[in-house]
Chain A
């Protein structure tokens, strides 16, 4: 029997499935990790540069704003030291032109009964005699109690946004304050490539918080917010100005920005390539392994076929050897049995009349046993005799009837005949008759004197199937498997050659024979014989 094919090795399929996924996945993970690290590095660098730029701007603003108290201070000193503070102030102010070439918008303010009043003024500063209120008054009051520069927040005045600075004693005379105002340009300052810090957007607020109405200078109309916005605080006197910056374009350069994406792209392509290479290699390996499996299976099959052939050969040799022994023993026993038969005949003839009845009974027994021995010898010789069947067209139904009349059932056994229309079979009539007789007597003996023997025959394709079923004791599987072995018998009488001879005859006819049995339910023998094929006319 061929062995069942072994399942494919588990490692192969798992490796084959996992490896093409795992390696590219690892490469992909590595690529993403490198991408993230590079991105973070670029981002950090960007951040650092933005912070540096922002600090530089703060520094420059500090320097620029430092000039405001210096100019105010000189005005204050002039007003304090002059004979007429008003005149000295105006003279000094005119001598200090602003960036536009115009005199600055400045005023000398004095407190009169708790209210700041303009004592002298130039430019667009509040005119002389104006009583200051709101942000301006607040700045003036703050300057009086604070030696540092004071600034207002941005405020609306005459349709313009303005911002004021004030400085008081000890720079000025006690009770007086120098106040300067500047108009804030609401437009976005245009920045060209040549300007310093053109690469960043910046907005300066006159408050510590970003408020739209407090914008002092802006190089963008965007509202800057988010994590990548640089922050700087510029002290202006007692106030804090806020500087927000944001890169106009990557500060680290476009290549540095692209580096993480290049890493990611290279990683993905690498992973795809690795997957392709691994798939190709695995496919080759699988192909080789499949080929090896196939060859192994073929080898196993051939081996199984060889084993089957060998065991058949061994069985045939064994049967041949048994046949030779059977022939020798059978022949050798025939002579003594003949002599015994003759001697018994003579004894019976010589027994005196008076003893005839008593001795005759024993002679009967002796003769019966000699006859039984002769039957055994005949079955041995039947087994040993290998004769090719001389086939002809045989009417099986007719042969069945003949066999039943030659071997009629014992009194208590009923024969059920279920034979329909049958084609002639190709058989050696004499041999097939022996087969049927063997199976009939077998069935009778199995039922131990009473029961039903069903004899059925029908056509099945190119064969006629003959079924002889008894209602006897049946057999267990172990016995059923051995009944066609020579010298295997379960009967008290018989040497176990009937069924082997039957089987051999059936097989030499190109037919088959098998037994179906169930302990307690009986046994059925099913044999097939080929249908006689008439040559076409």
Chain B
């Protein structure tokens, strides 16, 4: 089984860095991006199995990145601190794998990532 690649997208350095470390420690190959544009660039360059992305970011937000990813869609877990309800509905319509609200217990997040990674495309 090949290595599972995860992209962490969050403009908040603390959140981004702790997530990278937690996922790396769990055996994932982790990359990070600080905003939506950087995330799209990374996706064009490399292949990711799971994307863990904040909804609210300066510039392009998580939902619009998800809408631009195209086929085949990677499994995207969106994180939110204060997204409006209709934005979350749009995320679900764009086939987000899950929407979690911050703060979340780390074991639950790891479980979500694992199930996303093991879900066939």
Interface residues in chain A, defined as those with a beta carbon under 8 Å from any beta carbon in chain B: 327, 330-332, 334-343, 345-346, 349, 370, 374
Q: Give the interface segment out of B10-18, B30-38, B113-121.
A: B10-18
* Interface residues of A, dominant DSSP: helix
> A335-B102, A340-B103, A374-B103 in contact; A345/B22 too (CB < 8 A)?
yes
Which chain B residues lie closer than 8 Å to A334 at the CB level?
Answer: 81-82, 101-103
A338 touches B22 (CB 8 A): no
CA distance A349 to B21 in the complex (A): 11
Known A342-B106, A346-B18; 8 more pairs at CB < 8 Å: A331-B81, A335-B14, A335-B15, A338-B104, A339-B12, A342-B15, A343-B14, A345-B106
B82 touches A331 (CB 8 A): yes
How far apart are B65's CB and chain A's nearest CB, in angstroms? 18
CA distance A349 to B105 in the complex (A): 14
Which chain B residues lie closer than 8 Å to A343 at the CB level?
Answer: 14, 18
How far apart are B67's CB and chain A's nearest CB, in angstroms? 23
Which chain B residues lie closer than 8 Å to A339 at the CB level?
Answer: 12, 14-15, 18
A-B contact pairs, 15 of them (CB 8 A): A331-B81, A332-B81, A332-B82, A334-B101, A334-B103, A335-B102, A336-B14, A339-B12, A339-B14, A342-B15, A342-B19, A343-B14, A343-B18, A345-B18, A346-B25
Instruction: Give A336's nearest chain B residue, CB to CB.
Output: B14
A341 touches B106 (CB 8 A): yes
Instruction: Give A344's nearest chain B residue, CB to CB.
Output: B106
How far apart are B53's CB and chain A's nearest CB, in angstroms? 14
How far apart are B24's CB and chain A's nearest CB, in angstroms? 11
Instruction: Give B26's nearest chain A residue, CB to CB.
Output: A349
B25 touches A349 (CB 8 A): yes
CA distance A331 to B106 in the complex (A): 19
CA distance A330 to B103 in the complex (A): 11
A338 touches B103 (CB 8 A): yes
Which chain A residues lie closer than 8 Å to B21 at the CB level?
Answer: 346
Instruction: Give A343's nearest chain B residue, CB to CB.
Output: B18
Which chain A residues lie closer than 8 Å to B102 at the CB level?
Answer: 334-335, 337-338
How far apart are A325's CB and chain B's nearest CB, in angstroms? 13
CA distance A374 to B81 in the complex (A): 11
Interface residues in chain B, defined as those with a beta carbon under 8 Å from any beta carbon in chain A: 12, 14-15, 18-19, 21-22, 25, 79, 81-82, 101-106
Which chain B residues lie closer than 8 Å to A338 at the CB level?
Answer: 15, 79, 81, 102-104
CA distance A327 to B81 in the complex (A): 11
How far apart are A388's CB and chain B's nearest CB, in angstroms? 12
Which chain A residues lie closer than 8 Å to B104 at the CB level?
Answer: 338, 341
Which chain B residues lie closer than 8 Å to A346 at the CB level?
Answer: 18, 21-22, 25
How far apart are B114's CB and chain A's nearest CB, in angstroms? 16
Most chain A Cβ neighbours within 10 Å, of B12, B79, B106: B106
Most chain B Cβ neighbours within 10 Å, of A340, A346, A370: A346
How far apart are A268's CB and chain B's nearest CB, in angstroms? 91
Which chain B residues lie closer than 8 Å to A330 at the CB level?
Answer: 82
Instruction: Give B80's nearest chain A residue, CB to CB.
Output: A334
Contacting residue for B18 out of A332, A342, A370, CB 8 A: A342
Instruction: Give A387's nearest chain B residue, CB to CB.
Output: B85
CA distance A513 to B22 in the complex (A): 47
Instruction: Give B101's nearest chain A residue, CB to CB.
Output: A334
Contacting residue for B12 out of A335, A341, A345, A374, CB 8 A: A335
Contacting residue for A337 out of B19, B22, B82, B103, CB 8 A: B103
Top 3 A-B pairs ranked by shortest CB distance? Answer: A331-B82, A342-B18, A338-B102
CA distance A345 to B25 in the complex (A): 11
CA distance A335 to B12 in the complex (A): 8
CA distance A348 to B100 in the complex (A): 23
Instruction: Give B16's nearest chain A residue, CB to CB.
Output: A339
CA distance A330 to B102 in the complex (A): 11
How far apart are B96's CB and chain A's nearest CB, in angstroms? 18
Which chain A residues lie closer than 8 Å to B22 at the CB level?
Answer: 342, 345-346
Which chain A residues lie closer than 8 Å to B81 at the CB level?
Answer: 331-332, 334-335, 338
How far apart are A339's CB and chain B's nearest CB, in angstroms? 4
CA distance A342 to B15 in the complex (A): 8
CA distance A339 to B10 in the complex (A): 11
Most chain B Cβ neighbours within 10 Å, of A331, A339, A340, A374: A339
Instruction: Give B107's nearest chain A residue, CB to CB.
Output: A345
How far apart are A337's CB and chain B's nearest CB, in angstroms? 4
CA distance A340 to B106 in the complex (A): 11
Which chain A residues lie closer than 8 Å to B15 at the CB level?
Answer: 335, 338-339, 342
Most chain A Cβ neighbours within 10 Å, of B14, B22, B103: B103
Instruction: Give B25's nearest chain A residue, CB to CB.
Output: A349
How far apart are A179's CB and chain B's nearest CB, in angstroms? 155
Which chain A residues lie closer than 8 Å to B105 at the CB level?
Answer: 341
